[in-house]
Amino acid sequence: MKEWHGHAGDPNTGDVRLTRGDVLRRIRQPHSIEDRAAYIVALAKDKKVLDCGMVEHTLAATESPNWLHGRIRSAARECLGVDILEDEVNALRAKGYNVRTLDVTRAALPETFDLIVSCEIIEHIDNLGLAFANFAKMLAPGGRLVITTPYPWYLNCLLKNLRTGSQLSESVDHVAWHEPFTLYELSQRSGLRMDSYTGLHVTQTYTAKAKLFFAMSRMLIGLGFKYELFSKSLLYEFVKDS
């Protein structure tokens, strides 16, 4: 879909909303992704990759065999990791990792990449428009940007926030929620095209209630409920057309 200005002068008209909704239905994938890391690693194979926010909060996360950056690095032809956490970046560089300190809302690197990965980062960013503009600058023509971010209409979040005295917050340093409509519009403004989006299946649960909830999710999806309701995060892919 071209920018909504080509359809009407008012973005709130029914025609514009319906047209945008039709586009999003076409690019929505039919099934959620079972293994986020495996999916992203497959995309990274033999490519030049930029991994944004690769520290994952603390150095302790980088010691895990499941650390996403470590897995991307093992598959990519070339991999650069960037983060705003300078001390952690320096520690990883001392260990031999190809990493730099970078705030993508302030600057773009003077090089391009086949794939840019930004997992669970954009909800922390207070000026996402600048980040998208810099992502676009750093993508090679035909390159792909992969973003994951918490889904605001995740059923567990909705249910917990229905109860008086109960409030679910993903993290105290999150500053925004994003969903397909907002990210589609934002990507267009930076010259990118949303190519697809899908849910990420929740596999790790800790309580009996949670295990029952997700055991029932497959049945409910089969009955016609949207899989997004049971996806804590969604994965979005954007392309920079040649």
Q: pLDDT digit string (tens) for 158-181?
A: 887 887 666 666 678 889 999 999
Spatial distance between the Cα atoms of 193 and 187, rounded to a whole number of angstroms = 6
Instruction: Write down the pLDDT at residue 1.
Output: 47
Which range of residues forms the domain containing residue 44?
Answer: 31-152+175-204+234-239
Q: pLDDT digit string (tens) for 47-68?
A: 999 999 999 888 998 999 999 9
In a domain, 60, yes or no: yes
In a domain, 157, yes or no: no
pLDDT bracket for residue 105 (50, 70, 90): very high
In a domain, 1, yes or no: no
Spatial distance between the Cα atoms of 184 and 238, rounded to a whole number of angstroms = 9
In a domain, 21, yes or no: no
Q: Are 232 and 160 in contact (CB under 8 A)?
A: no
Spatial distance between the Cα atoms of 140 and 34, rounded to a whole number of angstroms = 28
In a domain, 11, yes or no: no
In a domain, 8, yes or no: no
Sign of CA dihedral 106, 109, 113, 116: negative
- pTM (global) more than 0.85: yes
Structure-model confidence comparison of residues 159 and 136, the more confident one: 136
Instruction: Write down the pLDDT at residue 147.
Output: 98
Q: Are 75 and 44 in contact (CB under 8 A)?
A: yes
CATH number of the CATH domain containing 78:
3.40.50.150
In a domain, 24, yes or no: no
How many Cβ atoms sit within 10 Å of the Cβ of residue 136? 19
Instruction: Write down the pLDDT at residue 14.
Output: 58
In a domain, 88, yes or no: yes
Q: pLDDT digit string (tens) for 205-231?
A: 567 776 777 778 878 888 888 999 999
Q: How many domains does the chain divide into?
A: 1
